[in-house]
Structure 1
Amino acid sequence: MPPSPPYAVILGTAQDGGYPHVGCACDACEAAAADPERARRVACLGLVTSKGMALIDATPDFASQARDLARLARRPASSPLRAVLLTHLHAGHILGLPLLGREGWATDTTPVWATESCLGFLENNEPYARLFRDGHASPRVLHLGWDTSLDDLVIQPIPVPHRSEAGDTVAYRIEGPGRSLFYAPDLDALVPDVLDHLRAADIALLDGTFFRRHELRRDDANTVPHPAIADTMAKVSAIDTKIIFTHLNHTNPALDPESRERRAVEALGMRIAAEGQILELD
């Protein structure tokens, strides 16, 4: 049974292309395609407050993630979202937004929280712009470093380094009555400011895209910068914060619960994110 709100729930843990990854026939993706227990949805975090529910990012798996969030919150699947908060504009984080429109949920002014640059892109490019014109979504500007209240949570968008071709990228500090969570699924590097926010939180969900820097077969890893789990573990092993890795690419060997990479993570008291995992904030 879920705890009393507020709490967070992990609804997806894969990189934008999913797991099995779109267009991939590697052994790991073939195994995930054959076994639903291995498959993972795109990285997403749900928030349950005393008054309702919110999602961080609108992924290609938006429909099933919204339904699962309602189930875990013991609310009808038709219950409106209190907010959709965006970390940035890369495909896996916004492709679900059009399902708020008339072809999908047909919601009534669902608040979409994002930075000014991200909202500017969405309001001026289809199919996202139509959501705002037709009243299915309502833009809410987030100011970097400023606190915003969502019922019994205080949420602060933190600017982080990432490939931000069309808008800012943020992590979120989420403060509950009893515990705090730092959610940073996409990063280029663990810069000092990110480490400071990590230390200040009780729980941190961090970018775990790659276990090592050079896993990709098709690209130079320098064109897709992410902090490798192996490097992150070395930097944060002395920090008391509970560390959980999310946003795993299909090449990441830590996806396999029997791998030596998974054992290395767990030996340090850290974890690989699991769908359905609840993080209490009360």
Structure 2
Amino acid sequence: MFVRVLGSAAGGGFPQWNTNVGLNRAWHEGTTRASPRTQSSIAVSADGRHWLLVNASPDVRQQILDFPALRPAPDTRGTGIAAILLMDSQIDHTAGLTILREGEPLTVWSTRPVYEDLTTGLPLFNVLAHYCGVDWHEIDTAGGEFTMAGVPGLRFDTVELSSAAPPYSPHRGDSHPGDNIGLIVTDETTGGRLFYAPGLGAPDDELAAVARDADCLLVDGTFFTETEMIDQGVGTKTAASMGHLPQSGEHGMLAWLGRFPDTRRVLIHINNTNPILDPDSPERATVERAGVEVAFDGMEIPL
């Protein structure tokens, strides 16, 4: 299986367009080795030709241009993207659908709560019906493994994650199973297995069992501390209130990942406030000493 990190940052990317504090300021001033990052998305394929796009970020156009496998073949109009899977209905994971409107109908897989959000509070599917159209397929989180006709050689499964619906959702204050999922991808030939969960805020025993069976964990790296945005003066919410588990602390992400020392562990969806973006920071050193990697745009993970 080929796994390509198209974008590794949280919503807004790095540097964020309207932020001039912390690492954002250091990047503008040229005083950090932190590299720019687009908003999080990955692509997976068994054969390197038929790709599943996992989440469609607002930066998808640039991500496609940066990855030739997703571009059209010579002298034709098309793409290597055979299908799209949405893990939630957050704007930074869905707005890119509008960028893909010029082609054939989009084959999109999601849970029903995500479908309902994208036909009501943020009616992207309704808008796309006037352009390319959407061929929607429902993900049943209780239905076990499934395959996709356009993405041969891979099997998929999902797990429900604890998370709130987006602010625009009609059920914002009433979380539904399937608002946010983790994705398990298995290569039918190599047996390689990926667990992808950029919104993993509350890992439990079920997720630990999933993690033990995976060859690579590509998981939530949004914040390093619980009060990171508050401490930097750019927000009023804690990591937990936004559905994220920070890396630090006795029960943080690094502690949880420490339970799986024989598995490749990579942090993705990294917020512009997170000091691990700086390869020279003590926080980055802490992550690396734990045997955990920090994803970057263009990172490739063969499984």
TM-score when scaled to structure 2? 0.82
Number of the residue aligned with 2:92: 92
From 251, 254, 258, the equivalent of 2:276 is 254
Q: 1:192 offset after TM fit, Å?
A: 2.1
Query: Could you say if the C-alpha distance between residues 34 and 96 of structure 1 is closer, same or farther in structure 2, counting changes exceeding 3 Å?
Result: farther
Offset of residue 128 of structure 1: 3.0
Give the match for residue 184 of structure 1.
197
1:125-274 correspondence runs (5 A): 125-132=122-129, 134-145=131-142, 146-149=144-147, 150-165=151-166, 166=169, 168-176=179-187, 177-178=189-190, 179-217=192-230, 218-221=235-238, 222-230=240-248, 231-239=252-260, 240-274=262-296
Query: What is the CA RMSD across the aligned residues, in angstroms?
Result: 2.3
What is aligned with 1:14?
9
- Equivalent residues, number: 272
Contact in 2 for aligned 1:107/1:137 (Cα 8 Å): no
Classify 1:238/1:157 alpha carbon distance in 2 versus 1 (closer, same or farther; 3 Å).
closer
Aligned-pair identity in percent equals 25
Q: 1:116 aligns with which of 112, 115, 124?
A: 112
Aligned-partner SS, 2:291: coil
Compared CA separation, residues 242 and 58, structure 1 to 2 (3 A): same
Q: Which moved more, 1:33-42 or 1:148-157?
A: 33-42
What is the CA–CA distance in structure 2 between the aligned matches of 1:160 and 1:23, rounded to whole Å? 30
| 180-189 or 136-145: bigger deviation | 136-145
> 2 CA distance for matches of 1:180 and 1:56?
15
Structure 1 residue 206 displacement after superposition: 0.7
Residue of 67, 70, 77 corresponding to 1:69:
67
Distance 1:11 1:99, change over 3 A: same
Select between 163-172 and 122-131 the one with higher mean Cα deviation: 122-131
Structure 2 counterpart of 1:22, one-letter code: W
Moved more, 31-40 or 175-184: 31-40
Secondary structure at the counterpart of residue 45 of structure 1: strand
Q: What one-letter code is carried by the residue in structure 2 that aligns with 1:87?
A: M
Structure 2, unaligned runs of 5 or more: 170-177
Contact 2:86 2:108 in 1 (8 A): yes
Deviation per CA, 1:94-145: give whole Å up to 9, x if none. Answer: 11111122xxxx1111201101121222234534313245443211111114
